[in-house]
Amino acid sequence: MTTESVQTKTKDFLGHPGGLSTLFLTEMWERMSYYGMRAMLVLFMTASIQEGGLAITVASATAIYGLYTGSVYLMGLPGGWMADRLIGGQQAVWYGGIIIMCGHIVLAIPNDYTFFIGLILVVLGTGLLKPNIGALVGQLYSSDDKRRDSGYTLYYLGINLGSVIGYTVCGYLRINFGWHWAFGAAAVGMGIGLIMYKKTLIKLEGAGAEPTVRLSPKAAKISWSVIGLFLLAVTVVAYMLMNNLMAFNAVVVAQKFAILATVLFLGYFAAIFFLGNNSPNEKRQLGALFLVCIASIFFWTGFEQAGSSLNLFGQNYTDRIIGTFEIPPEWLQSANSMFIVILSPFFAAMWINMAKKMITPSYGLKCAVGLIIMASGFLVMFFAAQVAATGLKVAPYWLIATYFLHTVGELCLSPVALSAVSKLSPRRFAGQMMGVFVLTYSIGNVVAGLLAGNFDPNKVEDMPSLYLQISLFTISIGIVIFLFTFKTKKWEKLADHQDENRDGAIEQPFN
């Protein structure tokens, strides 16, 4: 095929580079597999043996859930490094997708002993695929291409369409055919994504085909040796878990994971702040960014109750019968993705119109508002849990209202926080600070799993107070962050007047 024909073929995807269609569809099917399986995970682990589940306690199941989701984000750090230094983004996405598919196939096998192997494979594959497919989107555009933001909006739409498909398909199969058929559907979804990726790979026109900075042969050999030792250690641990040769207390492990991730976050942030040769203005900007990071941790701690405590509430205490049809609890979780698709254009227009009127809330203020709105969703659950405590099942609109408030909070905080990282980080540390920021997702997810362990289905009378505590505590954090923004707003404005003489400084000592 000639270069001319390739270029003609690759320029037609809603006015964007043709490669965006490749990444859009690949990510859509990957997210279908991820969210489809994620929606069932806690339900499967807590289901009785007679129902085909693992009969794990709620505390252990939600801790495992938190470890799983937290590890996905943590593994994104080495996954991104491997693409940048060893194999390139294209291969990282391809091999990551294969590993994910194998993980779902293992989960589809009706053998409880292989459960942890399936989870580990999905974690490793997602850590390799997820950060790099997002990076490939950016590589399709030149630095001055004004279509970039619109391209990422389309890409984000693919994520949410995939999650809706995953919730719908896997939820239906789980109810009507059983757990392992649903896990198998996740594998099929990832398989479809891989086929589409391979068949349309030419549309990327070389983006991510090679590492951005290839290591020397000696350094590469050492790196592959370290990776091999890590995979060997993971294999040994999986084997010991399969054969009950190692004690595994999920709650204790999750607690240690949360501590480790927090120490990594604080340590790396402090190192860049104190040892990064930053100017006084850059240190102030990092101070403002730290506030955004704290908001992110607490936001995801609450938001990620969707797959754990709120998921169990949807299964056990929500009236899901319409006529003779039972709504799968997984379908209720799709409300978040649907609301994102519906509300995103309104939020984008709102920020633009506010800017035109010279109303520019600070990053910290937007994050504080998003955190408070998300926390108000648990006030809704407080009233819903009071009804459930009387022995009655509640209508689905209680959960739908909660997910609506969580989505509004997400749209206020999540894209704003990512923008804050790119703008407030010293330019020579921009990539590393994005990696540090990803740790806030990991911390929030694992703490969310630990927090969800307090929601014991046998103690429904305790649920109203637990939801109220989460709401009031998180609102309090949001108010504290809001008060701090009166100071940090001035620091954020310094990002518009960075000392140009420092832009070209060498990134040290953390390369």
**Is 289 exposed, middle or buried (CB count within 10 Å of its CB: 0-12, 13-18, 19+)?**
buried
Of 471 and 493, more confident: 471
Confidence at 11, pLDDT banded by 50, 70, 90:
low
What pLDDT does 212 receive? 82
Confidence at 198, pLDDT banded by 50, 70, 90:
very high
Of 353 and 43, more confident: 43
What pLDDT does 380 receive? 97
DSSP states of 38-69: HHHHHHHHHS-TTTTS----HHHHHHHHHHHH
Confidence at 6, pLDDT banded by 50, 70, 90:
very low
User: Does 2 have pLDDT greater than 70?
Assistant: no
Give me 240's structure tokens. 């010991």
pLDDT in tens, 83-93: 888 888 899 99
pLDDT in tens, 328-337: 999 999 999 9
What pLDDT does 347 receive? 82
What pLDDT does 494 receive? 62
Confidence at 509, pLDDT banded by 50, 70, 90:
very low
Confidence at 80, pLDDT banded by 50, 70, 90:
confident
H or E stretch including 101?
helix 89-108
What pLDDT does 8 receive? 42
Distance separating alpha carbons of residues 17 and 204, to the nearest angstrom = 8
* Lowest-pLDDT choice from 14-18, 392-396, 458-462: 14-18
pLDDT in tens, 264-274: 999 999 999 99
Rounded average pLDDT over 98-107: 95
* Lowest-pLDDT choice from 326-335, 423-432, 496-505: 496-505
CA distances 431 to 30, 132, 388, 495, 507, Å, are 24, 13, 47, 17, 10
Chain-wide mean pLDDT for the chain? 87
DSSP states of 313-361: HHHHSB--EETTEEPPHHHHHHHHHHHHHHHHHHHHHHHHHHHHTT---
Please identify which residue in the block is written with the tokens 């050492």.
Answer: 222
User: Does 227 have pLDDT greater than 80?
Assistant: yes
Rounded average pLDDT over 437-447: 94
* Lowest-pLDDT choice from 10-24, 109-123, 140-154: 140-154
Percent of the chain with pLDDT over 70: 93
Confidence at 10, pLDDT banded by 50, 70, 90:
low
Distance separating alpha carbons of residues 507 and 504, to the nearest angstrom = 9
Q: What is the pTM (predicted TM-score) of this model? A: 0.87
Rounded average pLDDT over 343-361: 79
Of 362 and 33, more confident: 33
* Lowest-pLDDT choice from 4-13, 17-26, 179-188, 357-366: 4-13
What pLDDT does 470 receive? 95
Percent of the chain with pLDDT over 90: 56
Torsion of CA 266, 306, 51, 70, to 10 degrees: -20
Distance separating alpha carbons of residues 425 and 429, to the nearest angstrom = 6
Q: DSSP 3-state assignment of 88?
A: coil
pLDDT in tens, 110-120: 877 888 899 99
Torsion of CA 385, 68, 444, 95, to 10 degrees: -130
